[in-house]
Structure 1
Amino acid sequence: MKLQIVPARTGLQWVLQGLRTFKSQPLALAALFCLGMASMSLISALPIIGPVIALALLPCISLSMMVAASEAAHGRKPTPALLLVSFRSGTQHLQSMLMLGGMYAASFLLIIGASSIVDGGNFASVYLGQTEMTRELAEEPEFQSAMWMSMLLYIPLSLAFWHAPALIHWHGVSPIKALFFSFVGCIRNVGAYLVFGISWVGVFIATGMVLALVTGLLAAMIGSIAGGLMVASALALAAVFFTSIVFSFRDSFSPPDTEQPPISAEANTTPPTDL
């Protein structure tokens, strides 16, 4: 496994390839994403340990979407069974993914806990669903400081876990090394990831503007349809985002013994057979 450096414009190509891949299998990819989110919601409902288990399973859900996107890019239809891909790839793979999930949950909870130092735990309580968000609470300086602090601390955590599940799955890297290589890969290709993030912000804004116009018209006629359209669109957009992640991984890492040049995201081609 070796790191590849890509130009900044590649970040936009990752978004476009995610959109094209989702378009090829929209129902299968959207259904898999919704199934994953529903599973995490059900697990989160368990008392005390539910939210922690759900956090630990997030890398597994992310990996299932990456594998599903790879399948769709190969012209194959993703199946709901891919949701369990982390649990069906051998004992060592399962242990690595469970360790990775445990580290993610612990790190995330540590960040949320650190925010309590700033505002006495109000932001943490709201984020974990224990307290209802109110306008008065959101306008408190301490609450806002805790929110921004959590966001800043989450950035390096996100970079470390961005490629970690895929590095474990496709390259057999240990969890600790996967976190290190993921972080380094994101930093070395920071230009591409900035373009990737900015492009997705543009997609979100453009989609929100279109939905606001459409739902505004529908609400005047049939309010229930307008609300359902908003929810469905938000879920579909989130599924497309997770679909596009696999292309960022594919162009950032490649096996050291590959005989062919890396497939660029700038060409709408199929990923290698092992990805």
Structure 2
Amino acid sequence: MQARLLPAARGVFWLFEGFRLFRRNPPLITAVTLVYLLAVQLFALLPLIGPVLLPVLLPAMTLTVANACRIVDRQQPPSKRALLAGLSGRDNNFPALLRLGGLQLAGALLVVLFATLIGGGEDPFANALLSDAPDAPVDPAMQAAVLGKLAQVLLLATPLIIAFWFAPFLVGWDSVTPAKSLFFSTVASLRNWRAMVMFSLAAIIVAGILPGFILILVAQISGMALSAAFVVLRMVLVFLVAPVLTASIYASYRDIFTAADATHA
């Protein structure tokens, strides 16, 4: 298993490639992305068992979404067999994906433990939501503190994100063992850290900074239109940006591993 070394600009290409795949079949990629997001929210709402089951099932869920992107990429007709590739049938790697999910659960618990220890025993997610009321005044000091804690958790979770970025695809499609998939994913991500950083920055701009700038601009022009603009942007994020980012992650795997396999075949 060899990963290609790509230039930094390739990270931005993944975003454009994700949009190109989305344009080929918007209903399919949007549908699987929405089902994925709804499943994540459903598990989050389940008391006690939900936060445990979600990391365990996340690799299998991720592979299912990527299967839809691969169907579009290969211009295949959608089918149950293609959508469940690597999860059932002759190449059934679902048990291995569950073991990978168990490793992800262990990693998530370590991140929470370290964040709690660094925070002096305080739950790092306790004040993640500043207020449930949209019109309630926000304390700038509290907002800065919460953003600081979230940035701290994200920093601690970065090694976990790197290790699991390509792991579900390697386990499901390439039949790599869970432990080796984490190794190959980490090596590929570090080897292409410039492209990964560029992709992350582009995703943050498209999904975070640009919508925020639009909301600020609308608020300056007309405060009455702010609520409508918020609803529209939320719909755009769910039905356009999220599917494009999903397809972009698939494109990053294809660009680094699949092309490498074809080159060295």
- TM-score normalised over the length of structure 1: 0.78
1:158 aligns with 2:155: no
**Matched-pair contact (CA < 8 Å) for 2:215–2:230:** no
Give the Cα separation in 2 of the matches to 1:76 and 1:218: 47
1:101 aligns with 2:101: yes
| Alignment partner, residue 121 of structure 2 | 120
| Alignment partner, residue 13 of structure 2 | 13
**Matched-pair contact (CA < 8 Å) for 1:113–1:121:** no
**Matched-pair contact (CA < 8 Å) for 1:67–1:82:** yes
Give the Cα separation in 1 of the matches to 2:24 and 2:245: 15
Give the Cα separation in 1 of the matches to 2:20 and 2:7: 21
| Alignment partner, residue 28 of structure 1 | 28
What letter is aligned with 1:177?
A: K
**Could you say what secondary structure the match of 2:204 adopts?**
helix
**Matched-pair contact (CA < 8 Å) for 2:29–2:69:** yes
What letter is aligned with 2:155?
A: L
Match of 1:171 among 169, 174, 184: 174
Q: Superposed, which structure 2 residues align to 1:1-275 within 5 Å?
A: 1-76=1-76, 78=78, 87-89=87-89, 93-117=93-117, 118-126=119-127, 133=130, 135=138, 139=142, 146-204=149-207, 205-210=209-214, 220=224, 223=227, 226-235=229-238, 236-254=240-258, 258=262
- Aligned sequence identity (%): 29
**What is the Cα deviation at residue 232 of structure 1?**
1.6
**Matched-pair contact (CA < 8 Å) for 2:59–2:101:** yes
**Could you say what secondary structure the match of 2:125 adopts?**
helix
CA-to-aligned-CA distance 1:60-84 (integer Å, 9 cap, x gap): 2222222111111222465688775
**What is the Cα deviation at residue 207 of structure 1?**
4.4
- TM-score normalised over the length of structure 2: 0.81
| Alignment partner, residue 135 of structure 2 | none
**What is the Cα deviation at residue 183 of structure 1?**
0.3
What letter is aligned with 1:239?
A: P
**What is the Cα deviation at residue 96 of structure 1?**
0.8
Let me know the Cα RMSD of the aligned residues: 3.3
**Higher mean C-alpha displacement, 70-79 vs 84-93:** 84-93
**What is the Cα deviation at residue 193 of structure 1?**
1.2
**Matched-pair contact (CA < 8 Å) for 1:6–1:192:** yes
CA-to-aligned-CA distance 1:247-269 (integer Å, 9 cap, x gap): 111121148764x579xxxxxxx
**Matched-pair contact (CA < 8 Å) for 2:219–2:226:** no
Q: CA 1:218 to 1:172, structure 2 compared with 1: closer, same or farther past 3 Å? A: farther
